[in-house]
Amino acid sequence: MKVTWDEGTCIHAGKCVEGSPNVFKVVDGSFVIDESGASDDEIRATVAQCPSGALKIED
């Protein structure tokens, strides 16, 4: 599984960072996705909560 993020679509609601902080992080001002930080099911649930659709899962 690979998670992608579309910066142009993102509305910065923060649902991802709040929902899975070990996966979705801001490091030195850059958005980082660490897929090893949670289970696939947890990541899928967090991505589903993205209000703008900026996060996508590629299997």
pLDDT in tens, 6-17: 999 999 999 999
Q: Quote the pLDDT of residue 20.
A: 98
What is the chain's mean pLDDT, rounded? 97
Is the pTM higher than 0.85? The answer reads yes
How far apart CA 43 and CA 47 sit, in angstroms, is 6
What CATH number does the domain containing 37 carry? 3.30.70.20
Q: Quote the pLDDT of residue 26.
A: 95
How far apart CA 43 and CA 59 sit, in angstroms, is 12
Extract the residue ranges of the chain whose pLDDT is less than 70: none
Determine the 3-state secondary structure of 20 from DSSP. coil
Q: Quote the pLDDT of residue 16.
A: 97
The parent domain of residue 46 ranges over: 2-58
Letter for the amino acid at 57? I
How far apart CA 7 and CA 40 sit, in angstroms, is 22
Q: Quote the pLDDT of residue 12.
A: 95
